[in-house]
Structure formats: C-alpha cells, structure tokens
Amino acid sequence: MSIRALDTSKSVRDGVSEAEWETRVQLAAAYRVTALQGWTYLGASHISARVPGEDDTFLLNPHGLFFEEITASSLIKVDYDGNQLTEADHGVNPAGFTIHGAILAGRPDVSSVMHTHTRAGMAISAMDCGLLTIDQQSCRFHNRIGYHAFEGIAHDPGEGERLVRDLGPHNAMILRNHGLLTAGASVAHSMHLMFYLETCSQVQIDAMSTGVGILEVPEDVAEHTARQFESFGPAHCERDFAGLARQAERVDPSFRD
C-alpha cells in the first residue's frame, strides 16, 4: 500500500467536493456513534464509505486514532489498488483495506461496510448454530445473512474474493471466529443493520445462558417478517441515524471538523 501525497496548502474540506465532505461528516459521525455504543475494539474495527461521484475510491479510518477521535478531515481516501490518496499521520489498517476494498469493489449496490469485534458478535461467531431467529429483529436476517470461515488476520488479498462470495446478495455476514459485518446502501443503512445484528447477538447469548429451551420463530413467520422489514427499504434508516448523529453531536461536535 502506498501513499500518494496531495497538496496540503489547503484544508481537506476545500480540496473535496461537497458530496464527499457530506459523506465524510456522516462517516465520522458513525465512528463517534460506534464509540458511544461501546462497539469499539481499540482501533481494530472499521467502517467505510464510497466517495460519491468516484468509481474506485472509498473512505476509511486512520489506523492509530480511536473512534472518538475521528473527524471528517482525518478520514483517509483509498483506491481499490491500495493507494492512499490522503496525506495523513497514520495509514489504514491492512485488514480493513482487504475487507472493505473487496466488498465495495465486488458489490456495486453497497456504499458502506461496517465490521465490528464486539463481545457479543465474537461469541455468536464462535457458535456453530449461527444466528437464530428467536425475536422479531433477528427475523430480518432470516435466510439473509452470509457466513465466512476464519482464515486468520485478513492480510491476504485473495481472501477478499471469498468474502464477497460468502456475503453473496446479503447485507449482513458473520465472520466465523471473528465478528460481525454489515454492508449497506448508505452509512446510515450499514449502521442500522449493525445495531440490530449486534442486539440480536446479545439477545441470543442472554437467552441461551439461561439454560432453558429456546423458542425459535417458525419458518413461515420468520420469512414473512423478513419480507416486512425488506418492504421498508434502506431509506427508513436515515431517521434513526440522524438521531444517533445528534446524540454524538451533543457529546462532542468535533467530528464535523
């Protein structure tokens, strides 16, 4: 991965389009929200977003800043060849580039990818049963979630093809023995999906820890509920994301810088 130096005589905001700057603000907000939700894993997790109007670039966090420190200006622009197009004190996480670069390149319908290493997500990823449909929200993932076998730290570029294959047409995936991943039509969509995938993981662990029998939703009801969720479309995620962004702004508005 190489760094291609840019002219630093002007601010990042002055050097990008309005559409890119808005995406940067949304993505920086997503990082702050992730920190507030407690989904961070030091600096090992990551969220990406396509750069609007550009065919082969996306934004990713600088590996070295914690999520509560990320701002719109600090996000790094990367292309699919691994060239870092933004001058920065930190580079991007190589595993983050492998995962996000592959999915964004392989799924034109996806504009944002989110990957976490939460306690609940890692626990679910180690269960051979996978995610069970035991509550209303888990039904949204019924027959709509991929599974990817653990291959070690994702430094092998060849793993990217297998990630795309295992994600298939879905917008969520469990990385076995690793964590959770969502792929959305927008930053809001990917975060919305992660909120519920993370919550469903917590619910399943809580239910299984009681030691009593688990009541799963019947197949036909789970499918019906999944289609109900699909009928809402990804646009409805914007409302909840806007509220989360306002929450992050009340805590610290510096993500807009």
Tens-place pLDDT, residues 125-145? 999 999 999 999 999 999 999
pLDDT of residue 6: 38
The predicted pLDDT at position 235 comes to 86
Of the two residues 93 and 250, the one the predictor is more confident about is: 250
In percent, the amount of the chain with pLDDT more than 70 equals 96
CATH of domain 2-7+17-252: 3.40.225.10
By CB neighbour count within 10 A (0-12 exposed, 13-18 middle, 19+ buried), where does 81 fall?
exposed
DSSP 8-state symbol, 125: H
| pTM, to two decimals | 0.93
Instruction: For residue 147, give Cα distances in angstroms to 18, 54, 99, 131, 204.
Output: 37, 30, 14, 10, 17
Question: Distance between CA atoms of 206 and 171, rounded to whole angstroms?
Answer: 25
Q: Can you tell me the mean pLDDT for 153-157?
A: 93
Q: Are 42 and 118 in contact (CB under 8 A)?
A: no
Domains of the chain, residue spans? 2-7+17-252
- The predicted-structure confidence for 4-32, as pLDDT tens digits, reads as follows 333 333 589 999 999 999 999 999 999 99
Using an 8 Å Cβ cutoff, are 114 and 26 in contact? no
The whole-number pLDDT of residue 109 equals: 97
Give the lowest-confidence range in 79-83, 86-90, 91-95.
Answer: 86-90
Residue 179 backbone zone (phi > 0: left; psi -120 to 50: alpha; other: beta): left
